[in-house]
Amino acid sequence: MVKRFDILLKIFFSVYLCIMSYYLYTHQYYNVDMEAYMGLLYKTEYPDMKIEDNHQKVFTELNEKRPGMFESDLSHEETAKGENTYYKTISENPKIFEEELQLFSVKPFYNFTNLLFFKAGFEASTSTFLISILSYVLILGFIFLFLSKILKNHSLAIFLTFLFSIFKPLLESARHASPDTLSCLLLLVSFYFFLVKRSFFVATFFAMLCILTRPEYFIFYSFLYALIFIKRKKFNVKNFELTFSFLYLFLSFGLVQYFNQISWSVLFMNQFTKVQLYPISNPDHFNFQEYLGYIKSKLLFEFNSSYFLLLLIFVVIIVYHQFPQIKKNRIPYLFFGVIYLSVFIRFLVFPTLVNRMMIGFYLLIILGLIYIQSSKEDLFKKLS
């Protein structure tokens, strides 16, 4: 009787995922970054296409899908000078559009996946957001597998996975054409293969893809590998495995930086101080005082607008309750410390904590807390 009920629940949840996928497909935001990913797609597929033709093709398609998408937005105060008219300017100027594409070329695996969908016959705009929808479904699939292993209760695992499916940051990321959902999926898969399958090689492969999708995850993996190195005997990881694994991650990050034509300082200014219309040919000079001023003005606001402070309350309560003596088991403290340290350093590099960009960290914290509360075991201990 119980098995039959579990089967019915799984069927119901599969139908629910199909309905959610259709909803996401028909309720996309068509965010403004989509035009850059489409431009890179056409540039890769048709290398001989002139930038003027690429520009016209992209904006003709998007204007048909969402008319008025690139009109000037004067309804809110500008964060970076010129941002309210930036996309209207891009829609009218192929040269500015061409240079803007370089800002988005630093996510090669996302762009490669985009190309695969395009070659499968989808329109360029559709290809970009199908990645987010498919990643959303697969994330929920991996969450279910992980919870089933921990809780040993399929019904409860399905119920919790349903709650994850309507978690606002995850749902919002699935409605954006961006690498956020795909990078989150790759992050979770790399952890799944390390924790559950105990395949360090496969976990490294997916960690590389995660960095090639969002390079800033290299910050997190660097601290995580430092933790694994300190506790390598406990994790049963050999020195040469750890060394070569980290080398592959470093090479993935280095590969992105090698082909990146735009420095971090220009990227920072473009997002937070003054929009760079020509970030390659004529960038403005970086102002360190403006950088410090922006960091100071946004630090408390960004963290208070995120879920990190709320989750920190549960981290402190649950971890201290399960492991009251730090000397006996430091790993849970170090693991969550690595997450928060990585988020803080990432903020110093790119001072915004938009929730859809943080879903990978959010899910690691929440799933880690569920694991500790349910199993009362070390994080990273092999799951049977």
- Residue 384: its pLDDT value, please? 44
**High-pLDDT (> 70) share of the chain, %:** 95
Q: What mean pLDDT do residues 162-181 have?
A: 94
Asked if 24 and 175 count as a contact pair (C-beta separation under 8 A), the reply is: yes
Which of 215, 51, 63, 31 minimizes the C-alpha distance to 128?
A: 31
Task: Check: CB of residue 374 under 8 Å from CB of residue 151.
Answer: yes
Mind listing the pLDDT tens digit for each residue in 362-371? 999 999 999 8
Nearest alpha carbon to residue 195 among 333, 356, 331: 331
DSSP lists the bridge partners of residue 81 as 274
- Whole-angstrom Cα distance, residue 182 to residue 226? 25
Q: Are 210 and 186 in contact (CB under 8 A)?
A: yes
What is residue 110's predicted lDDT score, i.e. its pLDDT? 96
Percent of residues, the chain, with pLDDT higher than 90: 60
Q: Which of 61-65, 111-115, 316-320, 325-329 has the lowest mean pLDDT?
A: 325-329
Mean pLDDT on 191-215: 91
Considering only 7-11, 27-31, 48-52, 348-352, which range has the smallest mean pLDDT?
7-11
3-state secondary structure the chain: CHHHHHHHHHHHHHHHHHHHHHHHHHCCCCCCCHHHHHHHHHHHHCCCCCHHHHHHHHHHHHHHHCCCCCCCCCCCCCCCECHHHHHHHHHHCHHHHHHHHHHHCCCHHHHHHHHHHHHCCCCHHHHHHHHHHHHHHHHHHHHHHHHHHHHCCHHHHHHHHHHHHCCHHHHHHCCCCCCHHHHHHHHHHHHHHHHCCCCHHHHHHHHHHHHHHCCCHHHHHHHHHHHHHHCHHHHCCCHHHHHHHHHHHHHHHHHHHHHCCCCHHHHHHHHHCECCCCCCCCCCCCCHHHHHHHHHHHHHHHHHHCCHHHHHHHHHHHHHHHCCCCCCCCHHHHHHHHHHHHHHHHHHHCCCCCHHHCHHHHHHHHHHHHHHHHHCCCCCCCCC
pLDDT over threshold 90, residue 374: no
The pLDDT value recorded for residue 377 is: 58
pLDDT digits (tens, 9 = 90+) for 99-140: 999 999 999 999 999 999 999 999 999 999 999 999 999 999
pLDDT, residue 258, reads 85
Q: Out of 8-12, 52-56, 66-70, give the one with best mean pLDDT.
A: 52-56
The answer to which of 85-89, 358-362, 371-375 has the lowest mean pLDDT is 371-375
pTM of the model: 0.93
d(CA 282, CA 263): 12
Task: Give the pLDDT band of residue 287 (cuts 50, 70, 90).
Answer: confident
Asked whether the CA dihedral 180, 186, 192, 194 is positive or negative, the reply is negative
Mean pLDDT of the chain: 89
